[in-house]
Amino acid sequence: MENHNSMAEMMEQIEESLKIPRRGSIVKGSIIQVNTDVIIVNIGYKSDGVIPRSEVTADSSMDLQKNFKEGDELDVFVVSHDNGEGNILLSLRKVNIDKDWEELENINEKDEPIMVNVTDSVNGGLIAFYKEIRGFIPASQLSDRFVKNLRPYVGQSLKVKVIEINKQKRRAVFSHKEYAILEKQAQREAFWKEIEVGKVVEGEVKRITNFGAFVDIGGMDGLVHVTEMSWGRIKPASEFVKVGDKVNVKIIDLNQAENKISLSIKQLTDEPWSQFEEKYSVDGVYEGKVVNLTDFGAFVELEPGIEGLVHVSHIAKEHVEKPADVLRVNQVVEVKILEYVSDEKKVKLSMKAVNEPVVEEVEAVEVEAETSETIESTEE
């Protein structure tokens, strides 16, 4: 009886050994469990097979439980008979990658486009996957212009063509340039159909020069000239905006033939002089800022776009030789409005008249004349 049992056990062991999948072979299996980082597969052997995440896909963000279900049939590659825990180590990638290389070679021969997923930026380009094939997109093959910052491409899906492929060396190089140019052309065509003078749009400041700022308003750059930054005095554009700022701009001119767009920030608000009489009145006292000094007086800004002159004789009660002797640019001062000429957009201001009325020289002459006449009349 013992011999019979021993013989049966031996035959069973031999049978089991014959069932052991050969390393390097591809076998069929059925998924019996899916976890976040591993898939358990029944391959018809006494030990289960395991596929760790790294052998499922190169996409580290893939949700295994969404993409694989119990009962799914798979072709798997046998990596080893023991993964260290008594299970057979399997790979799905090693099965798929060979199929993917064959597919990519056929695509390359036909010169057809493919979609790749960008996973990382490295020196000189991007790492991008076509299914399980790791490829490279040189920075020079991303656009018709030099691309300095590659990080925004990470996580994107890009349309590319294969420009180099070597299955033996596992090397694949892709190019997105052709499609980037086509996308830009389509974007421009759509842009010119929608855009119009007078429209207000949001944009991002991309570049600042000594004559203005270039703002991206949806794939096209427009220029906000320094004269269109503010109603106030002309200053360098860098004093109003900086690269990366989100700004609202008004489109004031378009030239599709030359791809030129003129923008304005100041025209989003009313021209200050148009509301002068609503905000200010003659004999009113207001706060202003000294913006320029000359030999004959000081120009004081009541608000951006509205300046008035304080003549040197109206700076102080005491005699002032030069305005620069008692005032400095950017100094905040109180001024009284003496006169406003709307047609000429001119305002006459006084600092010394803030606390007491000013008798104009012409008025003083008239008073003297009247006094002289009275005296003469009395003497007669």
Q: Per the confidence metrics, is the pTM higher than 0.75? A: no
Mean pLDDT on 345-349: 94
List the structure tokens of 367: 């008073």
pLDDT digits 0-9 by tens, 87-103: 889 988 888 888 899 99
Residues in the chain: 380
What's the rounded Cα separation, in Å, for the pair 181 and 339? 60
pLDDT value of position 259: 86
Tell which residue, 95, 90, 24, has the closest CA to residue 51.
Answer: 90
88, 25 contact by CB (below 8 A)? no
Residues near 258 by beta carbon (within 8 Å), at least 6 away in sequence: none
d(CA 247, CA 266): 11
- Cα distance between residue 315 and residue 325, in whole Å: 11
Q: Helix, strand, coil shares of the chain as percentages rounded to 5?
A: 30, 35, 35
At residue 351, the 3 state secondary structure works out as coil
* Tens digit of each residue's pLDDT (9 = 90 or more) over 196-254: 999 999 999 999 999 999 999 987 899 999 999 999 888 899 999 999 999 999 999 99
pLDDT (average), residues 300-314: 94
Contact present, 366 and 330 (Cβ < 8 Å): no
Q: Of 85, 122, 114, which is closest to residue 174 (Cα–Cα)?
A: 114
Q: Among candidates 274, 158, 151, 260, which has minimal Cα distance to 212?
A: 260
Nearby residues of 257 by Cβ (< 8 Å), 6 or more positions away: none
